[in-house]
Amino acid sequence: MTATNTIAKTRANTKTSVDTRAEVAGGALVSINVAGAVIGLWSLASLVGGMVAAGGPISLVQAWFGAIAGM
């Protein structure tokens, strides 16, 4: 085996491991962003559902203050 073949093989292995780490990091980033989006959509749906159940945003705020104050 010549020195040129050894260098080329080493570069190929290094590039593969770096690309693998980049792919894993990219997948983790996508997973975290998707989880954040799902949580955000769930909170928005809960807020809208609360407003509908209370009869509007003003009624929701009044009911919330009443629950906090214990009235």
Give the DSSP letter string of 11-53.
HHHHHHHHHHHHHHHHHHHHHHHHHHHHHHHHHHHHHHHHHHH
pTM: 0.62
Helix axes 3-54, 57-69, angle to 10 degrees: 90
Cα 43 to Cα 25: distance, rounded to the nearest angstrom: 27
Domain count, the chain: 1
Mean pLDDT for each consecutive 10-residue tract of the chain (71 residues)? 62 63 89 98 96 92 92 73
- Specify the pLDDT at position 18: 62
Determine contact, residues 63/54, Cβ cutoff 8 Å.
yes
- Specify the pLDDT at position 20: 81
Q: Which range marks the domain in which residue 29 is found?
A: 3-69
